[in-house]
Structure 1
Amino acid sequence: MVSILIPYGTGEGQTATVADRIADVLDERGHDATAIDAEELPPDLEVDGFDAVCIGASIHMGKHQSAVRDFVEANRDALASRPTAFFQLSMSSAVADETRQAEAAGYVDEFLEETGWHPDRIGLFGGALRYSKYGFLKRLLMKRIAGDATGDTDTSRDYEYTDWHEVDAFAADYAAFVESRLGVRPADPRDADPSNVDSSGEETLE
Protein backbone atom coordinates (compact mmCIF):
# COMPACT_ATOMS: atom_id res chain seq x y z
CA MET A 1 0.00 0.00 0.00
CA VAL A 2 1.19 3.50 -0.92
CA SER A 3 0.36 6.64 1.07
CA ILE A 4 -0.57 9.51 -1.23
CA LEU A 5 -1.21 13.12 -0.24
CA ILE A 6 -3.60 15.14 -2.43
CA PRO A 7 -3.44 18.81 -1.38
CA TYR A 8 -5.59 21.10 -3.50
CA GLY A 9 -6.79 24.66 -3.90
CA THR A 10 -10.45 25.32 -4.66
CA GLY A 11 -12.75 28.26 -5.18
CA GLU A 12 -16.33 27.03 -5.14
CA GLY A 13 -15.59 23.34 -4.54
CA GLN A 14 -15.12 21.71 -7.96
CA THR A 15 -11.40 21.07 -7.47
CA ALA A 16 -12.20 19.53 -4.09
CA THR A 17 -14.68 17.21 -5.78
CA VAL A 18 -12.08 16.19 -8.36
CA ALA A 19 -9.48 15.61 -5.63
CA ASP A 20 -11.93 13.36 -3.78
CA ARG A 21 -12.62 11.42 -7.00
CA ILE A 22 -8.89 10.88 -7.55
CA ALA A 23 -8.55 9.74 -3.94
CA ASP A 24 -11.38 7.25 -4.47
CA VAL A 25 -9.65 5.76 -7.53
CA LEU A 26 -6.38 5.42 -5.62
CA ASP A 27 -8.13 3.91 -2.59
CA GLU A 28 -9.85 1.36 -4.82
CA ARG A 29 -6.41 0.22 -5.95
CA GLY A 30 -5.54 -0.53 -2.33
CA HIS A 31 -3.64 2.66 -1.50
CA ASP A 32 -4.14 5.22 1.27
CA ALA A 33 -5.01 8.57 -0.35
CA THR A 34 -5.66 11.73 1.67
CA ALA A 35 -7.30 14.71 -0.07
CA ILE A 36 -7.14 17.98 1.87
CA ASP A 37 -7.56 21.69 1.12
CA ALA A 38 -4.12 23.34 0.98
CA GLU A 39 -5.47 26.14 3.17
CA GLU A 40 -6.29 23.61 5.88
CA LEU A 41 -3.04 21.65 5.95
CA PRO A 42 -1.78 21.11 9.51
CA PRO A 43 1.34 23.21 10.18
CA ASP A 44 3.20 20.11 11.34
CA LEU A 45 2.35 18.03 8.24
CA GLU A 46 5.47 16.43 6.75
CA VAL A 47 5.52 15.59 3.04
CA ASP A 48 8.22 13.05 3.90
CA GLY A 49 5.49 11.10 5.67
CA PHE A 50 3.88 10.27 2.30
CA ASP A 51 5.14 8.08 -0.53
CA ALA A 52 3.66 10.23 -3.30
CA VAL A 53 1.94 13.58 -3.79
CA CYS A 54 -0.74 14.67 -6.28
CA ILE A 55 -1.46 18.42 -6.19
CA GLY A 56 -4.52 20.16 -7.61
CA ALA A 57 -5.49 23.78 -8.25
CA SER A 58 -8.00 25.82 -10.19
CA ILE A 59 -7.61 28.98 -12.22
CA HIS A 60 -9.27 32.16 -11.00
CA MET A 61 -8.49 35.44 -12.74
CA GLY A 62 -5.53 33.75 -14.42
CA LYS A 63 -3.92 32.55 -11.18
CA HIS A 64 -3.76 29.42 -9.04
CA GLN A 65 -4.53 29.52 -5.33
CA SER A 66 -1.67 31.06 -3.34
CA ALA A 67 -1.87 28.25 -0.75
CA VAL A 68 -1.00 25.72 -3.46
CA ARG A 69 1.91 27.82 -4.68
CA ASP A 70 3.19 28.23 -1.11
CA PHE A 71 2.93 24.48 -0.51
CA VAL A 72 4.94 23.63 -3.63
CA GLU A 73 7.63 26.20 -2.91
CA ALA A 74 7.97 25.11 0.72
CA ASN A 75 8.22 21.41 -0.17
CA ARG A 76 10.06 21.49 -3.50
CA ASP A 77 12.90 19.22 -2.37
CA ALA A 78 10.55 16.64 -0.86
CA LEU A 79 8.40 16.67 -4.01
CA ALA A 80 11.45 16.11 -6.20
CA SER A 81 12.27 12.87 -4.38
CA ARG A 82 8.91 11.12 -4.85
CA PRO A 83 6.34 10.44 -7.59
CA THR A 84 4.20 13.55 -8.11
CA ALA A 85 1.36 14.81 -10.27
CA PHE A 86 -0.40 18.11 -10.87
CA PHE A 87 -3.98 18.62 -12.04
CA GLN A 88 -5.60 21.90 -12.98
CA LEU A 89 -9.22 22.95 -13.48
CA SER A 90 -10.07 25.89 -15.69
CA MET A 91 -12.64 27.32 -18.07
CA SER A 92 -9.97 27.14 -20.77
CA SER A 93 -10.07 23.33 -20.59
CA ALA A 94 -13.86 23.30 -20.84
CA VAL A 95 -13.84 23.74 -24.62
CA ALA A 96 -12.03 22.00 -27.47
CA ASP A 97 -10.78 25.25 -29.02
CA GLU A 98 -7.02 24.98 -29.62
CA THR A 99 -6.38 28.52 -28.45
CA ARG A 100 -8.17 27.87 -25.17
CA GLN A 101 -6.36 24.56 -24.70
CA ALA A 102 -3.03 26.32 -25.23
CA GLU A 103 -4.08 28.93 -22.68
CA ALA A 104 -4.76 26.20 -20.11
CA ALA A 105 -1.37 24.63 -20.76
CA GLY A 106 0.22 28.05 -20.45
CA TYR A 107 -1.15 28.47 -16.93
CA VAL A 108 0.55 25.21 -15.97
CA ASP A 109 3.83 26.13 -17.63
CA GLU A 110 3.90 29.47 -15.84
CA PHE A 111 3.16 27.86 -12.48
CA LEU A 112 5.87 25.23 -12.87
CA GLU A 113 8.42 27.75 -14.06
CA GLU A 114 7.73 30.08 -11.14
CA THR A 115 7.83 27.30 -8.52
CA GLY A 116 10.66 25.25 -10.04
CA TRP A 117 8.61 22.07 -9.68
CA HIS A 118 8.57 19.26 -12.25
CA PRO A 119 5.64 16.86 -11.68
CA ASP A 120 5.73 13.44 -13.33
CA ARG A 121 2.12 13.59 -14.52
CA ILE A 122 -0.12 16.54 -15.48
CA GLY A 123 -3.90 16.59 -15.94
CA LEU A 124 -5.97 19.43 -17.41
CA PHE A 125 -9.71 19.37 -16.73
CA GLY A 126 -12.68 21.60 -17.30
CA GLY A 127 -13.98 23.18 -14.14
CA ALA A 128 -17.42 24.51 -13.30
CA LEU A 129 -19.42 27.73 -13.27
CA ARG A 130 -21.07 28.16 -9.88
CA TYR A 131 -23.19 31.21 -10.55
CA SER A 132 -25.25 30.37 -7.47
CA LYS A 133 -22.20 30.86 -5.26
CA TYR A 134 -20.86 34.06 -6.83
CA GLY A 135 -21.42 37.54 -5.51
CA PHE A 136 -22.96 40.15 -7.81
CA LEU A 137 -19.72 41.49 -9.25
CA LYS A 138 -18.10 38.09 -9.71
CA ARG A 139 -21.25 36.78 -11.35
CA LEU A 140 -21.06 39.56 -13.95
CA LEU A 141 -17.37 38.92 -14.55
CA MET A 142 -17.78 35.17 -14.90
CA LYS A 143 -20.75 35.69 -17.21
CA ARG A 144 -18.52 37.74 -19.50
CA ILE A 145 -15.73 35.13 -19.37
CA ALA A 146 -18.20 32.32 -20.04
CA GLY A 147 -19.66 34.23 -22.96
CA ASP A 148 -16.26 34.16 -24.67
CA ALA A 149 -15.48 30.56 -23.71
CA THR A 150 -18.56 28.33 -23.45
CA GLY A 151 -21.49 30.63 -24.12
CA ASP A 152 -23.16 29.56 -20.87
CA THR A 153 -24.41 32.93 -19.61
CA ASP A 154 -27.67 31.91 -17.92
CA THR A 155 -26.87 32.94 -14.35
CA SER A 156 -29.97 31.23 -12.96
CA ARG A 157 -28.20 27.86 -13.09
CA ASP A 158 -24.76 26.29 -12.56
CA TYR A 159 -22.66 24.44 -15.15
CA GLU A 160 -20.16 21.59 -14.78
CA TYR A 161 -17.54 20.89 -17.46
CA THR A 162 -15.42 18.24 -15.76
CA ASP A 163 -15.02 15.06 -17.81
CA TRP A 164 -15.07 12.39 -15.12
CA HIS A 165 -13.78 9.71 -17.49
CA GLU A 166 -10.69 11.87 -18.02
CA VAL A 167 -10.28 12.31 -14.27
CA ASP A 168 -10.52 8.55 -13.69
CA ALA A 169 -8.03 7.84 -16.49
CA PHE A 170 -5.60 10.41 -15.08
CA ALA A 171 -5.85 8.91 -11.59
CA ALA A 172 -5.35 5.38 -12.91
CA ASP A 173 -2.35 6.44 -15.00
CA TYR A 174 -0.76 8.21 -12.05
CA ALA A 175 -1.42 5.23 -9.79
CA ALA A 176 0.23 2.89 -12.29
CA PHE A 177 3.23 5.20 -12.49
CA VAL A 178 3.55 5.36 -8.69
CA GLU A 179 3.26 1.59 -8.39
CA SER A 180 5.90 1.06 -11.04
CA ARG A 181 8.29 3.58 -9.53
CA LEU A 182 7.88 2.27 -5.97
CA GLY A 183 7.70 -1.39 -6.93
CA VAL A 184 4.26 -2.16 -5.53
CA ARG A 185 1.17 -3.78 -7.03
CA PRO A 186 -2.46 -2.61 -6.87
CA ALA A 187 -4.96 -4.58 -4.81
CA ASP A 188 -6.72 -5.68 -8.03
CA PRO A 189 -4.19 -7.24 -10.46
CA ARG A 190 -6.31 -6.08 -13.42
CA ASP A 191 -5.44 -2.49 -12.54
CA ALA A 192 -1.77 -3.17 -13.23
CA ASP A 193 -2.51 -3.63 -16.94
CA PRO A 194 -3.04 -0.27 -18.74
CA SER A 195 -4.99 -2.14 -21.46
CA ASN A 196 -7.83 -2.51 -18.96
CA VAL A 197 -8.56 1.22 -19.30
CA ASP A 198 -9.57 2.64 -22.66
CA SER A 199 -9.04 6.23 -23.82
CA SER A 200 -12.28 7.35 -22.16
CA GLY A 201 -11.21 5.96 -18.78
CA GLU A 202 -13.64 3.02 -18.86
CA GLU A 203 -12.42 -0.36 -17.73
CA THR A 204 -12.39 -3.01 -20.43
CA LEU A 205 -12.36 -6.72 -19.82
CA GLU A 206 -11.20 -9.31 -22.31
Structure 2
Amino acid sequence: MSKILIVYSSVHGQTRKVTDFIKQQLEALGDEVTCTMLEDAPELGSFDKIVIGASIRHGKHNPGVYQFISRNLALLNERPNSFFSVSLVARKAAKNTPETNPYMQAFLTKTPWQPKLLAVFGGNLNYQGYNALDRNIIRFIMWLTKGPTAADTQVEYTDWEKVTQYAKALHQL
Protein backbone atom coordinates (compact mmCIF):
# COMPACT_ATOMS: atom_id res chain seq x y z
CA MET A 1 0.00 0.00 0.00
CA SER A 2 1.27 3.44 -0.96
CA LYS A 3 0.27 6.87 0.23
CA ILE A 4 -0.36 8.77 -3.02
CA LEU A 5 -0.98 12.46 -3.66
CA ILE A 6 -2.72 13.55 -6.84
CA VAL A 7 -2.48 17.28 -7.46
CA TYR A 8 -4.56 18.58 -10.36
CA SER A 9 -5.40 21.68 -12.36
CA SER A 10 -8.81 21.63 -14.03
CA VAL A 11 -10.73 24.36 -15.84
CA HIS A 12 -14.03 22.77 -16.88
CA GLY A 13 -13.96 19.73 -14.59
CA GLN A 14 -12.80 16.84 -16.76
CA THR A 15 -9.34 16.62 -15.18
CA ARG A 16 -11.04 16.57 -11.78
CA LYS A 17 -13.29 13.75 -13.01
CA VAL A 18 -10.26 11.80 -14.27
CA THR A 19 -8.49 12.41 -10.95
CA ASP A 20 -11.47 11.12 -8.96
CA PHE A 21 -11.64 8.02 -11.17
CA ILE A 22 -7.91 7.33 -10.69
CA LYS A 23 -8.39 7.70 -6.94
CA GLN A 24 -11.17 5.11 -6.96
CA GLN A 25 -9.04 2.70 -8.99
CA LEU A 26 -6.01 3.11 -6.70
CA GLU A 27 -8.06 2.75 -3.53
CA ALA A 28 -9.54 -0.47 -4.91
CA LEU A 29 -5.94 -1.71 -5.24
CA GLY A 30 -5.27 -0.84 -1.58
CA ASP A 31 -3.56 2.54 -1.88
CA GLU A 32 -4.35 5.56 0.29
CA VAL A 33 -5.02 8.50 -2.04
CA THR A 34 -5.37 12.23 -1.44
CA CYS A 35 -6.61 14.44 -4.30
CA THR A 36 -6.28 18.20 -4.19
CA MET A 37 -6.39 21.17 -6.48
CA LEU A 38 -2.99 22.61 -7.35
CA GLU A 39 -3.40 25.71 -5.19
CA ASP A 40 -4.46 23.64 -2.15
CA ALA A 41 -1.65 21.07 -2.27
CA PRO A 42 -0.33 19.99 1.14
CA GLU A 43 3.31 19.40 2.06
CA LEU A 44 4.53 16.67 -0.30
CA GLY A 45 7.00 15.03 2.07
CA SER A 46 4.48 12.70 3.70
CA PHE A 47 3.52 10.97 0.43
CA ASP A 48 5.15 7.91 -1.16
CA LYS A 49 4.13 8.82 -4.72
CA ILE A 50 3.18 12.13 -6.32
CA VAL A 51 1.01 12.59 -9.40
CA ILE A 52 0.24 15.83 -11.20
CA GLY A 53 -2.65 16.12 -13.65
CA ALA A 54 -3.41 19.16 -15.77
CA SER A 55 -5.84 20.19 -18.45
CA ILE A 56 -5.15 22.23 -21.54
CA ARG A 57 -6.82 25.59 -21.98
CA HIS A 58 -6.23 27.61 -25.14
CA GLY A 59 -3.30 25.39 -26.02
CA LYS A 60 -1.44 25.58 -22.70
CA HIS A 61 -1.19 24.00 -19.29
CA ASN A 62 -1.90 26.28 -16.34
CA PRO A 63 1.27 28.31 -15.56
CA GLY A 64 0.76 27.36 -11.91
CA VAL A 65 1.67 23.77 -12.83
CA TYR A 66 5.16 24.86 -13.83
CA GLN A 67 5.50 26.99 -10.69
CA PHE A 68 4.42 24.06 -8.50
CA ILE A 69 6.97 21.81 -10.19
CA SER A 70 9.74 24.39 -9.77
CA ARG A 71 8.99 24.77 -6.05
CA ASN A 72 8.89 21.00 -5.50
CA LEU A 73 11.36 19.66 -8.07
CA ALA A 74 13.79 18.08 -5.61
CA LEU A 75 11.03 16.22 -3.77
CA LEU A 76 9.34 15.17 -7.02
CA ASN A 77 12.61 13.65 -8.21
CA GLU A 78 13.06 11.74 -4.94
CA ARG A 79 9.77 9.87 -5.20
CA PRO A 80 7.94 7.75 -7.74
CA ASN A 81 6.00 10.32 -9.76
CA SER A 82 3.79 10.84 -12.75
CA PHE A 83 2.19 13.49 -14.92
CA PHE A 84 -0.97 13.24 -16.99
CA SER A 85 -2.54 15.75 -19.35
CA VAL A 86 -6.17 16.05 -20.45
CA SER A 87 -7.02 17.73 -23.75
CA LEU A 88 -9.42 17.64 -26.67
CA VAL A 89 -6.57 17.10 -29.13
CA ALA A 90 -6.00 13.72 -27.43
CA ARG A 91 -9.32 12.60 -28.94
CA LYS A 92 -7.36 11.82 -32.10
CA ALA A 93 -5.56 8.49 -32.32
CA ALA A 94 -2.46 10.15 -33.76
CA LYS A 95 -2.19 12.48 -30.74
CA ASN A 96 -3.28 10.38 -27.77
CA THR A 97 0.07 9.15 -26.45
CA PRO A 98 2.76 11.06 -24.55
CA GLU A 99 5.08 10.63 -27.54
CA THR A 100 2.60 12.00 -30.10
CA ASN A 101 0.70 14.60 -28.10
CA PRO A 102 1.99 18.11 -28.88
CA TYR A 103 0.94 19.49 -25.48
CA MET A 104 2.80 16.76 -23.62
CA GLN A 105 5.88 17.32 -25.76
CA ALA A 106 5.70 21.07 -25.10
CA PHE A 107 5.32 20.38 -21.37
CA LEU A 108 8.42 18.19 -21.35
CA THR A 109 10.50 20.89 -23.04
CA LYS A 110 9.31 23.61 -20.63
CA THR A 111 10.10 21.85 -17.37
CA PRO A 112 13.26 20.32 -15.91
CA TRP A 113 11.08 17.58 -14.34
CA GLN A 114 11.09 14.31 -16.22
CA PRO A 115 8.19 12.29 -14.78
CA LYS A 116 8.67 8.55 -14.45
CA LEU A 117 5.22 7.82 -15.90
CA LEU A 118 3.33 9.91 -18.46
CA ALA A 119 -0.22 9.70 -19.78
CA VAL A 120 -2.51 11.65 -22.08
CA PHE A 121 -6.31 11.45 -21.98
CA GLY A 122 -9.02 12.88 -24.19
CA GLY A 123 -11.13 15.60 -22.63
CA ASN A 124 -14.80 16.51 -22.64
CA LEU A 125 -16.37 18.75 -25.27
CA ASN A 126 -19.43 20.56 -23.94
CA TYR A 127 -20.15 23.81 -25.74
CA GLN A 128 -23.07 24.66 -23.44
CA GLY A 129 -20.73 24.54 -20.43
CA TYR A 130 -18.35 27.19 -21.81
CA ASN A 131 -18.60 30.94 -21.64
CA ALA A 132 -19.12 32.72 -24.98
CA LEU A 133 -15.42 33.42 -25.55
CA ASP A 134 -14.29 29.84 -24.83
CA ARG A 135 -17.18 28.39 -26.85
CA ASN A 136 -16.23 30.43 -29.92
CA ILE A 137 -12.51 29.72 -29.61
CA ILE A 138 -13.08 25.98 -29.15
CA ARG A 139 -15.61 25.83 -32.00
CA PHE A 140 -13.09 27.54 -34.27
CA ILE A 141 -10.35 25.10 -33.25
CA MET A 142 -12.73 22.19 -33.79
CA TRP A 143 -13.63 23.54 -37.21
CA LEU A 144 -9.93 23.75 -38.10
CA THR A 145 -9.29 20.21 -36.84
CA LYS A 146 -12.45 18.74 -38.37
CA GLY A 147 -14.12 18.15 -35.00
CA PRO A 148 -17.76 18.71 -34.04
CA THR A 149 -18.92 22.32 -34.14
CA ALA A 150 -22.67 22.10 -33.46
CA ALA A 151 -23.51 24.39 -30.53
CA ASP A 152 -25.33 21.60 -28.67
CA THR A 153 -22.41 19.14 -28.88
CA GLN A 154 -21.51 17.28 -25.71
CA VAL A 155 -18.99 14.46 -26.18
CA GLU A 156 -16.73 12.85 -23.62
CA TYR A 157 -13.53 11.67 -25.31
CA THR A 158 -11.93 10.19 -22.20
CA ASP A 159 -11.02 6.52 -22.68
CA TRP A 160 -11.81 5.17 -19.21
CA GLU A 161 -10.13 1.83 -19.89
CA LYS A 162 -6.94 3.73 -20.67
CA VAL A 163 -7.33 5.62 -17.39
CA THR A 164 -7.79 2.29 -15.57
CA GLN A 165 -4.56 0.96 -17.11
CA TYR A 166 -2.77 4.15 -16.08
CA ALA A 167 -4.00 3.74 -12.49
CA LYS A 168 -2.64 0.17 -12.46
CA ALA A 169 0.72 1.44 -13.73
CA LEU A 170 0.72 4.11 -10.97
CA HIS A 171 0.05 1.42 -8.39
CA GLN A 172 3.07 -0.52 -9.69
CA LEU A 173 5.46 2.48 -9.67
Note the C-alpha offset of 1:30.
0.8
CA RMSD, 1 decimal: 1.7
Tell me the equivalent position of 2:15: 15
CA contact (8 A) 1:12 1:130 kept: no
1:142-181 mapped onto 2 (5 Å cutoff): 142-149=138-145, 151-177=147-173
Q: Runs of 5+ in structure 1 lacking a partner?
A: 178-206
CA contact (8 A) 1:131 1:156 kept: yes
Change (3 A) 1:126 1:104: farther
Q: Which amino acid aligns with 2:7?
A: P
Q: Runs of 5+ in structure 2 lacking a partner?
A: none
Q: Which runs of 4+ in 1 moved over 6 A?
A: none
Count of residues paired in the alignment? 172
Note the C-alpha offset of 1:149.
3.1
Give the distance between the partners of 2:160 and 2:14, measured in 1 at CA.
12
Give the distance between the partners of 1:22 and 1:84, measured in 2 at CA.
14
Tell me the equivalent position of 1:64: 61
2:114 alignment partner, SS class: coil
Change (3 A) 1:71 1:93: same
Tell me the equivalent position of 2:75: 78
Q: Deviation digits for residues 64-108 of structure 1, max 9, x if unmatched?
A: 012222211110000000000111111111012x3x458963322
Note the C-alpha offset of 1:134.
1.1
CA contact (8 A) 2:96 2:121 kept: no
CA contact (8 A) 2:8 2:54 kept: yes
Note the C-alpha offset of 1:37.
1.2
CA contact (8 A) 2:8 2:15 kept: yes
TM-score normalised by length of structure 2: 0.92
Between Structure 1 and Structure 2, the one with more strand by share is: 2
- After TM superposition, the structure 1 stretch with the greater mean CA deviation from structure 2, 25-34 or 143-152, is 143-152
